[in-house]
Amino acid sequence: MQPLPHHYRARARAAGNGSVLVGAEGLPEIETHAPPEFGGPEGYWSPEALLIAAIADCYILSFRASARASSLPWLSLAVDVEGVLEKSEGMTHFTRFTISPRLAIAPGTSETLAGAVLRSAKRACLVTNSLTGDCELAPTVHVVARDDAAASA
């Protein structure tokens, strides 16, 4: 890792109603819209979906680092995230997030260590550490044969 602080930049552009193009230097632009709950069309990324996806992505990257540091052998990991958007104190904001990782490990791997690494990944996730809504973890660990790992996560 490079020394901190790190600086990240993104840009968005739009004309009138319709889509917003979001990008960053060296990355392709993606087309976003308001989510259907706010009158936007189905089938497009929205700021809300991007935020939730960023949590899932960052959690997996944090898990990889924690697993490597703990010497945890693992087969696969899938993460679902749910964010709850509410209005309180006159502001609409995400009030809580639930991260539901499903970890597949081989027989003989310590489930206790696997659970500890899953919790460690939540503490290490810089995206969730940057949010104000409550963030809870609801992990599941599956012991599976190596051949079944991809299907179980």
Kindly tell me if the per-residue pLDDT of 1 is higher than 80: yes
The per-residue pLDDT for 120 is 98
The per-residue pLDDT for 94 is 95
Query: What span, in angstroms and rounded, lies between the C-alpha atoms of 46 and 23?
Result: 13
Q: Are residues 39 and 52 in the same domain?
A: no
Q: Are residues 5 and 22 in the same domain?
A: yes
Ramachandran assignment for 108, one of left (phi > 0), alpha (psi -120 to 50 degrees), beta (any other): left
Q: Are residues 31 and 88 in the same domain?
A: no
**CATH number, domain with residue 103:** 3.30.300.20
Query: What span, in angstroms and rounded, lies between the C-alpha atoms of 24 and 4?
Result: 20
The per-residue pLDDT for 149 is 62
Kindly tell me if the per-residue pLDDT of 11 is higher than 80: yes
For 19-58, the pLDDT digits (tens) are: 999 999 999 999 999 999 999 999 999 999 999 999 999 9
* pLDDT band, residue 151 (cuts 50/70/90): low
Query: What span, in angstroms and rounded, lies between the C-alpha atoms of 30 and 42?
Result: 15
The per-residue pLDDT for 152 is 61
Beta bridge partners of 94: 85
Domain membership of residue 17 as a residue range: 1-45
Kindly tell me if the per-residue pLDDT of 153 is higher than 70: no
Q: Are residues 22 and 51 in the same domain?
A: no
For 53-105, the pLDDT digits (tens) are: 999 999 999 999 999 999 999 999 999 999 999 998 899 999 999 999 999 99
Among 117, 100, 120, 114, which residue's Cα sits nearest to residue 142? 114
Q: Are residues 98 and 124 in the same domain?
A: yes
Q: Are residues 23 and 57 in the same domain?
A: no
Total number of domains in the chain: 2
Q: Are 85 and 48 in contact (CB under 8 A)?
A: yes
Q: Are residues 131 and 66 in the same domain?
A: yes
Task: Give CA separation, 47 vs 18, 80, 111, in Å.
Answer: 14, 17, 36
pTM: 0.89
Q: Are residues 71 and 81 in the same domain?
A: yes
φ, ψ of residue 87 to 5 degrees: the values are -110, 125
Q: Are residues 40 and 21 in the same domain?
A: yes
Cα-Cα-Cα-Cα torsion 55, 31, 27, 5, nearest 10 degrees, comes to -40
Q: Are residues 53 and 90 in the same domain?
A: yes
The per-residue pLDDT for 17 is 85
Query: What span, in angstroms and rounded, lies between the C-alpha atoms of 115 and 53?
Result: 22
Q: Which is higher by pLDDT, 135 or 78?
A: 78
Cβ within 8 Å of residue 20, ≥6 positions away? 12, 13, 14, 31, 32, 33
Q: Are residues 89 and 26 in the same domain?
A: no
